[in-house]
């Protein structure tokens, strides 16, 4: 692990990690709180790394200190349920020659405990293969060799949100110093611009990225981000261009529907929300499960409420069956009770 000022969450994770880890290595990148003291309650292997605006450099240093056959990385605000701790222990007991184990990473939890985003990441790696982290921000290891997918889930549950400008400043500093971004770095730079509401420049960078060869899920997501930077006509053009290159899913159909609604073309919006319901569930890349059925049913219920009450009620009930405790379901329920 690499950490900095994580006193609010570190004990939560390390108390879980102690149940399966043979060795815990903590690399502190400049904490000014009690992070290091807390870490020392769980491990003797606590080291310092002088921060140099490069997450991969810190990660690679942490990996260099590991002595076990396999290395598993975690972030301080990750969370591992008892069920998944048991799955990790079971995996450890198995004979395997895999080089990389991929685990599900779930994040962006709402008040109902529903993960709005999930995807697979390289989580457990064979030490002798000497895997290296790449990218000074949004660092990653490119999996190679024998890769196995597991049903292990790591949850990312932030207590304090990352300052929005932190990563953007790192990209801006790198550009100022003459850095040449890879396609992946260009994509994440555009995302940071978007998160910081610099939509005009974000759109420019997304368009530049989309002209380059890239990882298909990143290409798909870039189209969606670009559409969010544009007015409705331009957004629709971007989204339909995306459909020429990628298989449809619930999210892009909902995005198309939303932009038709902005143009007050309600029949077309209803059509595309219905299309979302008939798309196959996402099973790769960045999965946003709520778009498979919950969101389109909610939106169809809303759009049909005044013109086709029985059908609106049906869509409401379908959404309610998926997430009965959702605040939006409780809010809508009041209208239908009347």
Contact 116, 288 (CB under 8 A): yes
Tokens for 142, please give them: 């490119």
Domains belonging to the chain, first-starting first, are 2-156 (3.90.550.10), 164-337 (1.25.40.10)
Three-class SS state of 325: coil
Question: What percentage of the chain reaches a pLDDT higher than 70?
Answer: 100
- The pLDDT of residue 135 is 95
Residue-wise pLDDT tens digits, 232-272:
999 999 999 999 999 999 999 999 999 999 999 999 999 99
Residue whose structure tokens are 């946003």: 288
- The pLDDT of residue 161 is 77
- The pLDDT of residue 176 is 96
| Residues of the chain scoring pLDDT < 70 | none
Residue-wise pLDDT tens digits, 154-195:
999 988 777 778 999 999 999 999 999 999 999 999 999 999
Residue-wise pLDDT tens digits, 139-154:
999 999 999 999 999 9
Tally Cβ neighbours within 10 Å of residue 219.
Answer: 19
Query: How far apart are the C-alpha atoms of 54 and 76, rounded to whole Å?
Result: 18
């Amino acid at each position: 692990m690499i950490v900095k000022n994580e006193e609010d969450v570190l004990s939560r994770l390390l108390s879980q990690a102690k149940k399966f880890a043979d060795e815990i290595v903590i690399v502190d990148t400049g904490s000014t709180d009690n992070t290091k003291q807390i870490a020392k309650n769980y491990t003797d292997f606590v080291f310092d790394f002088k921060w140099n605006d490069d997450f991969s450099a810190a990660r690679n240093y942490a990996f260099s200190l590991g002595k076990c056959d396999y290395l598993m990385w975690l972030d301080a605000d990750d969370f591992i349920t008892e069920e998944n701790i048991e799955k990790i222990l079971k995996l450890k007991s198995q004979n395997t020659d895999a080089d990389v184990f991929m685990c599900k990473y779930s994040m962006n939890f709402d008040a109902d405990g529903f993960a709005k985003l999930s995807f697979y990441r390289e989580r457990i790696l064979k030490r002798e293969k000497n895997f290296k982290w790449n990218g000074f921000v949004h660092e990653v290891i490119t999996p190679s060799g024998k890769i196995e997918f597991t049903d292990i889930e790591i949850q990312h549950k932030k207590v304090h949100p990352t300052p929005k400008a932190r990563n953007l400043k790192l990209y801006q500093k790198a550009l100022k110093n003459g850095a040449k971004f890879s396609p992946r770095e260009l994509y994440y730079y555009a995302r940071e611009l978007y998160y910081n509401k610099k939509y005009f420049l974000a759109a420019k960078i997304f368009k530049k990225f989309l002209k380059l060869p890239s990882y298909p899920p990143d290409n798909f997501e870039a189209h969606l981000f670009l559409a969010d930077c544009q007015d409705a006509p331009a957004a629709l053009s971007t989204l339909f261009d995306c459909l020429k290159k990628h298989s449809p899913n619930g999210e892009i159909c909902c995005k198309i529907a939303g932009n038709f609604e902005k143009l007050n073309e309600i029949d077309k919006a209803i059509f595309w929300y219905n299309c979302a319901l008939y798309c196959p569930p996402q099973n790769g890349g960045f999965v946003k499960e709520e778009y498979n059925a919950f969101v389109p049913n909610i939106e169809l219920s809303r759009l049909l409420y005044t013109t086709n009450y029985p059908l609106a009620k049906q869509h409401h009930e379908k959404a309610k069956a998926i997430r009965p405790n959702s605040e939006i379901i409780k809010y809508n329920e009041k209208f239908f009770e009347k």
